[in-house]
Amino acid sequence: MKKMEVLFKLNGRDVRAEVPSDTLLVDLLRDTLGLKGTKTGCREGECGACTVLLDGNPVNSCILPAFKVAGRSVITIEGLTKEDGRLDPIQEAFIHEGAVQCGFCTPGMIMNAKALLDKDPHPDEAKIREAISGVQCRCTGYRKIVQAVKTAGEATRSAR
């Protein structure tokens, strides 16, 4: 398989990787770059566990060829934590509201919430449910996740 060089921004830093041309972004992140926070479930674009932000928009990294992120900005769940170890308000809210059980869906939920709150810090419940609709959670029943995103929105607004 032909190898391709991919230069892109990952969590704010320039990254260069050489990968076979059929490598998927999730495998570049997890296997080549060691960022295991992004999960894989269906690997078919259905469950949302692999969600990352591409230029600020949520994408399923299990169906995105890695070479397509060349010259673009990718944010993973690891990129939300501050350099001094402080968590993002969305991560704090998920903990505070008890919105995590097995945790498998949590990175995907948080990345979708991040994309939403960056664009709209005042989302109503319908918008929150729509934003997370591409991520499947088998544990929580979604109610606490929705509450966590509401709480994170309030925290984001009061920090501005």
Task: Specify the residue, 101 or 121, whose C-beta has the smaller distance to ligand FES.
Answer: 101
Query: What minimum distance in Å lies between the beta carbon of 47 and ligand FES?
Result: 3
The b-or-e profile of 93-128 (16+ CB within 10 A means b, else e) is bbeebebbeeebbbbbbbbbbbbbbeeeeebeeeeb
Query: What minimum distance in Å lies between the beta carbon of 40 and ligand FES?
Result: 5
What values do phi and psi take at 51, rounded to 5? -65, 130
Query: What minimum distance in Å lies between the beta carbon of 145 and ligand FES?
Result: 8
Could you say whether residue 31 binds ligand FES (CB under 6 A)? Answer: no
Q: What is the separation, in whole angstroms, between the first and last Cα of the chain?
A: 49
Query: What minimum distance in Å lies between the beta carbon of 126 and ligand FES?
Result: 21
Could you say whether residue 146 binds ligand FES (CB under 6 A)? Answer: no
Could you say whether residue 77 binds ligand FES (CB under 6 A)? Answer: no
Report which of 59, 71, 56, 74 is spatially closest to residue 12, judged by C-alpha positions. 74
Could you say whether residue 32 binds ligand FES (CB under 6 A)? Answer: no
Report which of 131, 14, 117 is spatially closest to residue 69, judged by C-alpha positions. 14
What's the full length of the chain, in residues? 160
> And the tokens for 109?
């939920």
Could you say whether residue 143 binds ligand FES (CB under 6 A)? Answer: no
Query: What minimum distance in Å lies between the beta carbon of 46 and ligand FES?
Result: 5
Q: Which of residues 46-65 bind ligand FES (CB under 6 A)?
A: 46-50, 60, 62
Which residues form the interface with ligand FES (CB under 6 A)? 40-43, 45-50, 60, 62, 100-105, 137-140
